[in-house]
């Protein structure tokens, strides 16, 4: 039996692991911090057959998320050759500038991504399905629409947060 205490939101691993007598078995411990900074915890491996316990101190440092890239869009209000038109349901047309951002899932688990940004809501919208699900080792293009309704320069950040798709266990 295994028990992780302390920073249970940073370290994960299986609750049970089987090892043949007289051999060593690797314990797959994963560290995926939720925030920047130091994370401390402990791992206790317990052998129910002979009652032995092995305790390990866990230390991890959550680093700042790496920037995946920069998107620069030059779009003149009313004179953009890349803009498309869409009906707003009434008599007027909404002009928007489509662009996409590639999401890479380099992990071994299917992940659900959520797009967020700090730009005004009327300026940018995510067009991709919600939630954005990316299988292990795959990439997905996430589509956005920029609505150039104001003059000026707008600078902002589009970020993606992700969670692991939990495996469903059959009822016993």
Mean pLDDT of the chain: 78
Q: Are 63 and 71 in contact (CB under 8 A)?
A: no
pLDDT tens for residues 8-23?
Answer: 667 888 888 888 888 8
Domain segments of the chain: what residues?
2-62, 84-164
Sequence-separated (6 or more) residues with CB below 8 Å from residue 62 = 10, 33, 34, 35, 36, 37, 38, 39
Give the whole-number percent of the chain exceeding pLDDT 90.
6
pLDDT tens for residues 123-133?
Answer: 888 888 888 99
pLDDT tens for residues 27-60?
Answer: 888 887 767 788 888 888 888 888 888 888 888 8
pLDDT of residue 142: 92
Q: What are 17's two structure tokens? A: 């692991």
Does residue 172 register a pLDDT over 60?
A: no
pLDDT of residue 134: 92
CATH code for the domain defined by 84-164: 2.60.40
């Amino acid at each position: 039996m295994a028990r992780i205490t302390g920073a249970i939101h940073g370290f994960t691993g299986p609750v049970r692991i089987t090892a043949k007598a007289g051999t060593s078995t690797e314990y797959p411990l994963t560290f995926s911090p939720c925030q920047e900074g130091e994370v401390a915890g402990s791992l206790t491996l317990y052998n129910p057959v002979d009652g032995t316990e092995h305790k390990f101190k866990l230390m991890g440092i959550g680093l700042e998320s790496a920037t995946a890239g920069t998107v620069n869009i030059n779009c003149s209000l009313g004179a953009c050759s890349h803009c498309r038109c869409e009906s707003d349901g009434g008599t007027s047309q909404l002009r928007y500038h489509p662009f996409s951002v590639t999401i890479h899932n380099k992990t071994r688990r299917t992940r659900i991504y959520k797009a967020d940004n700090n730009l005004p809501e009327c300026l940018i919208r995510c067009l991709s399905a919600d939630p954005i699900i990316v299988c292990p080792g795959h990439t997905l293009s996430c589509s956005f629409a920029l609505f150039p309704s104001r003059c000026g320069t707008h600078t902002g950040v589009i970020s993606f947060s992700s969670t692991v798709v939990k495996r469903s266990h059959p009822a016993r």
